[in-house]
A and B are shown apart, each in its own frame.
Chain A
Amino acid sequence: MRFFRYLRRNKRLAAGIFILTFLFLFATLGRLIAPPERAYPLAVPPNKPPSPEYPFGTDSQGRDLLATIVMGTYLTVRIGVLAGVIGLAVGTFLGFISAYYGGVLDTIIRWVVDVLLTVPGLLVLVVIAAMLQRTLKPTSLSLILALLAWMGPTRTIRSQVLSLRERAFVRVAKLSGENNLEIIFKELFPNLLPYLGASLVGSVTGAIFASLGLEQLGLGAMREPTLGMTIYWVQYYGAFVRGLWWWILEPVAVIVLIFMGLFFLSAGLDEFANPRVRRVV
């Protein structure tokens, strides 16, 4: 298939897809090997280094780290995807109508976005997370992150649409009898797909970053074995000092893999969307 032939040329995209697919399989099939119940405290004997019985070792609260990392990968990525998608969807919608219809609507949306962007995001997140601490769940964390994620896309999508709106093919579409909604969905939106794809990767990456940041401060869902919380527990229990190297290494390694995958995916998409960057034959 042409897709696979293209992947052979675009090595970055291939690398990104490969890593992310691997992580996906790890997070989903991993559950068959390591039952999720073992990702919670007092499930197994604590502080054991990697062994055939516990390939990833166990932590100080008695969690099987293999199960923990499997669950953690799934949860953390899910937080990121949820926040990123919602943030981008809202931002795209607002950016489109702001740019296409212009006028008062545009002015209002822009003003709101500009004001909200000046608010220090991390501070807000810390405050909200601290307030909700007991009741915080991964899903609610996603929603909070999405709250701060929609402003950037609104602005960038707006400027993209503004420039697209003036193109001759939009005029031709009008002459062909298309109404405004049809122009937005059939003419403008498809042209933004590459941009949206790249933005999505960016949004998701940002959301994962933010969630990790909050969680390792202890401001995440206390009970859930997300990667960020695992790092928090690593610090809380002084794993460095106690020489529990496996506990430190594993979540960090997976986090690095996640970001590498996202990075290559984004670089690969960039190459795809920008033919001039493409490697020459």
Chain B
Amino acid sequence: MTALLELREVTKIYVSGLVKKRTTVALDRISLAIGTETPTITAIAGESGSGKTTMGMLFLGFLPPTSGEILYKGKDLWTCSKEEWRVFRREVQAIFQDPFEVYNPFYKVDHVLTVPIVKFRLANSKQAQREMIEKALIDVGLRPEETLGRYPHQLSGGQRQRITVARALLLQPKLIIADEPVSMVDASLRATILQSLRKLNKELGISILYITHDLATAYHICENIMVLYQGSVAEAGDVDAVIKDPQHPYTRLLVGSIAWPDPKRKWGQEIAEYRGEMLAQKTTGCKFAPRCPRAMPICRESPPPLYQTNETRATACYLYEGNPTLEGREISRVLRQ
């Protein structure tokens, strides 16, 4: 079954600097397939530097891979024709993090809703266009008369972000890449936006790739999760299992750092080794070893393979040696499709 979009052994390396070239490996042989069988919501979790945003950009076709392939309906995206790219753009959409930057300050907020309708010919009259827009806005909990006709700076962050969700609703793509959609929105507004994302998935059958560093929200709307650390997969699988019982030490650190709104449940026992942040250390072994409280000698020698610990879980950590190993491409086995 060909997936809608697939990353196959993709590596992305950034080169910076004029004289002293500095290479950063943003993604290291990552594979992930997002299918259309059953519309899923998959979380890609990690800190900044984990490669999650790069993954989003690759999926959206904004960056070419350094090696590996990005397959759109089985065909290499970067060899597709102009017409195929048109369809691709129609089927794969995005919601970005910054609710202000996504608007062109010269235009009213309507612009971001009308342009795609016109370009993708979704409505055949001005009236139909207007109705589509109004319905989408109401669906995300906004009142058209209060939001349309305004400039971006006249609306609040929460309203602006909801409009971008309305835009996605309008287009009804097959896949939405949501890159930290709620991190710049007040905590109290996040629920509303997440609710809309869930609705997109459950009612309209749209698959969502939810990129975030906040596991609490990931837990709530996603079914699958893939935890990235410096460009490699640390852990992947069913979101309930991974968050309630994290296996990889890094995942434990992430879960332990969640700020639960409960004064009795203070930040976890996982000690976060801090001093290791100073300069990026080149290691030949597991990337997390310098910070890992459970590091063993073998961890510093060679990077661990992905062990399948369960029908719906996989962890890249020597602590789980003994379990069957997975090749990069097979990771989709543990993710509910």
Whether B190 is near chain A, meaning CB under 8 Å from some CB there, is no
A168 near B101 (CB under 8 angstroms)?
yes
A172 near B106 (CB under 8 angstroms)?
no
| A113 and B311 alpha carbons, distance in the complex (Å) | 63
Given A171-B96, A172-B96, A177:B106 Cβ within 8 A: no
Given A177-B90, A190-B106, A191-B104, A172:B119 Cβ within 8 A: no
- Contact residue among B86, B105, B112, B120 (Cβ-Cβ distance under 8 Å from A172): B112
B78 to chain A, nearest CB (A): 15
A174 near B89 (CB under 8 angstroms)?
yes
Whether B147 is near chain A, meaning CB under 8 Å from some CB there, is no
Q: Give the size range of B's interface with the partner.
A: 20 to 34
- The residue in chain B whose Cβ has the minimal distance to the Cβ of A187 is B104
A169 near B120 (CB under 8 angstroms)?
no
Whether B1 is near chain A, meaning CB under 8 Å from some CB there, is no
Whether A175 is near chain B, meaning CB under 8 Å from some CB there, is yes
| A177 and B61 alpha carbons, distance in the complex (Å) | 13
| A173 and B102 alpha carbons, distance in the complex (Å) | 9
A51 to chain B, nearest CB (A): 55
B60 neighbours in A (Cβ, 8 Å): 171, 175
B69 to chain A, nearest CB (A): 21
| A178 and B94 alpha carbons, distance in the complex (Å) | 15
Residues 50-78 of A, flagged 1 when their CB comes within 8 A of B and 0 if not, give: 00000000000000000000000000000
A177 near B98 (CB under 8 angstroms)?
no
B279 neighbours in A (Cβ, 8 Å): none
| A173 and B98 alpha carbons, distance in the complex (Å) | 15
Whether A176 is near chain B, meaning CB under 8 Å from some CB there, is yes
A177 near B86 (CB under 8 angstroms)?
yes
| A172 and B104 alpha carbons, distance in the complex (Å) | 9
A178 neighbours in B (Cβ, 8 Å): 115, 119
| A169 and B102 alpha carbons, distance in the complex (Å) | 4
A191 near B96 (CB under 8 angstroms)?
no
A190 neighbours in B (Cβ, 8 Å): 104, 106-107
